[in-house]
Amino acid sequence: MHDLLPGETEKWQSAEQILASVAKLYGYREIRPPVIEERALFERSIGTSSDIISKEIYCFQDRKGRNLALRPEGTASVVRAFVESELSHRKKITRLYYYGQMFRYDRPQKGRYRQFYQFGVELLGGTHPYFDGEVMEMLDAMLKKLNVPDHFFSINTLGCTECKNRYTEIIRDRLSGKRDSLCPDCNVRLETAPLRILDCKSSQCRETAKTAPGITEILCEECRSHFGQVQEYLLKAGIPFKVQPSLVRGLDYYTRTVFELYVKDDENAVAAGGRYDTLVKDLGGPDIPSVGFAIGMERLISLLEESTEKPPAPVYCIFMGREAQLKGIEIVSSLRNAGLMTVTDYEDRGLKGHLKEADRAGAKWCIILGELEMDKNEIVVKNMVTGQQQNVPVDDCVKRLKELVNA
Ligand code: HAM
């Protein structure tokens, strides 16, 4: 887990703003579910045999002995909130986006943290394959808007529940005679989650898995057509993609389309998602097929160019002596009310010390009010870059500074 400091936060804020603006352009509205949920919610949606639930979830009991968890992802919470609220009985299609911290006890390394941020979207209530395409197109638009070049989608289908179950049994059946060629983890997966063998880190496991048929060979007609139409949309929209038959994803709720977004040869996906046609129903809601994705913000931010924009320069106010400080309270307040970023320092540092601080704060303009100026009802306005200064009547100082700052 890490801190985000000033200097970084500006970059984050501008990315957050761009992501939200693109999501709004596609008709999405923000939802803010809580960070803590019942652990059972994640078990029922992500699956107890997944790495997230079996190894990575942060869970605890509250004072009443309830089993709770810090959310490891956003989809389950959004679906829970959807089911519990009136959103699920209103419209046919609901488009939601969310942003915030997720928690997974992952092995920390580049691009993998224990607290990380996701920007996610969920389109609840769309069955047509073009929705899958449009969701991916929106993600593509977000990366374009952020000037992230060379990104492409890896896509696959897991089929509907029937196809997925049939395929799971085929993999289990074909590979159970080859246990010796599978790593210890995959021997366990053979029982708990056979499809995860397809994307095991061990190349020997992946090679062994290739001896079984690919999912496209066993899909029902509807699933085949669905996947075909998703690709049709992507081709039409000019979205770069590759079909990756070993892409299975680590969360149980996916059905049919799954995808990951990569940039250049980075091995970590920047974003990932897919369709989850039964999750809303499984969590007690109506039968509403849905699709969505989440962007890993740390991974995204690491791809963004350093901003060349300088942080805004404050007007720095120096008030020397008690009388001037009292008058200063009014002046600083009117400068801020006029929309000028203003800082001041109440410590007694002497003029030199204050000017040094003003420099450190990056101020371009400085105002100085001392006893002498108080007597004349004037204020000194100093340009910190050129060193030039002018005296201005105190009552005109806000107007004058506005002109100078905005010149
Ligand atoms: P996910 O693949 O688990 O999917 O996570 C989505 C993205 O979050 C990843 O592609 C990655 O960029 C980022 N991410 C995941 N784990 C970490 C980590 N430990 N450190 C840093 N970044 C990480 C989901 O979470 C699904 N809820 C996505 C989704 C939404 N599917 C449908 N709707």
Query: Does the model's pTM come out above 0.85?
Result: yes
The fraction of the chain above a pLDDT of 90, given in percent, is 88
Supply the pLDDT for residue 308. 67
pLDDT (tens digit, 9 = 90+) per residue, 177-194?
A: 999 999 999 999 999 999
Residue from 144, 131, 146 nearest 95 by CA: 131
Distance CA 277, CA 255 (A): 6
With 80 as the cut, is the pLDDT of residue 152 above it? yes
315-405 CATH pick, 3.20.20.240, 1.10.287.3510, 3.30.70.260, 3.40.50.800: 3.40.50.800
Q: First-to-last CA distance in the chain?
A: 43
Structure tokens at 70: 């810090």
Query: Ligand 1: distance of its center to the CA of 37 in Å?
Result: 18
36 versus 106: the higher-pLDDT residue is: 36
Q: Is the CB of 116 under 6 A from ligand 1?
A: yes
pLDDT (tens digit, 9 = 90+) per residue, 37-93?
A: 999 999 999 999 999 999 999 999 999 999 999 999 999 999 999 999 988 887 789
pLDDT (tens digit, 9 = 90+) per residue, 376-394?
A: 999 999 999 999 999 999 9
Q: What is the DSSP string of 206-236?
A: HHHHTTSPPGGGT--HHHHHHHHHHHHHHHH
Query: Ligand 1: distance of its center to the CA of 39 in Å?
Result: 18
Q: Is the CB of 274 under 6 A from ligand 1?
A: yes
Q: Is the CB of 97 under 6 A from ligand 1?
A: no
Fold of 9-160+220-303: BirA Bifunctional Protein; domain 2 (3.30.930)
Q: Is the CB of 118 under 6 A from ligand 1?
A: yes
With 80 as the cut, is the pLDDT of residue 319 above it? yes
Ligand 1 pocket mutation pick from 251, 262, 290, 300 by most atoms within 8 angstroms of CB: 251
267 versus 157: the higher-pLDDT residue is: 157
Cα-based distances in Å from 289 to 153, 156, 240, 243, 255 = 22, 18, 25, 22, 9
With 90 as the cut, is the pLDDT of residue 163 above it? yes
Domain 9-160+220-303 matches domain 315-405 at the CATH topology level: no
Q: Whose CA is nearest to atom 14 of ligand 1?
A: 296
Q: Whose CA is nearest to atom 3 of ligand 1?
A: 73
Q: Is the CB of 120 under 6 A from ligand 1?
A: yes
Q: Is the CB of 294 under 6 A from ligand 1?
A: yes
Query: Ligand 1: distance of its center to the CA of 361 in Å?
Result: 38
Ligand 1 pocket mutation pick from 51, 55, 110, 299 by most atoms within 8 angstroms of CB: 299
Supply the pLDDT for residue 188. 92
Q: Where are the domains of the chain?
A: 9-160+220-303, 315-405
Supply the pLDDT for residue 218. 93
pLDDT (tens digit, 9 = 90+) per residue, 9-33?
A: 999 999 999 999 999 999 999 999 9
Supply the pLDDT for residue 69. 98
The mean pLDDT of 274-293, rounded to a whole number, is: 97
With 90 as the cut, is the pLDDT of residue 168 above it? yes
Q: Are 142 and 19 in contact (CB under 8 A)?
A: yes
The mean pLDDT of 348-375, rounded to a whole number, is: 95
Supply the pLDDT for residue 9. 93
Q: What is the mean pLDDT of the chain?
A: 95
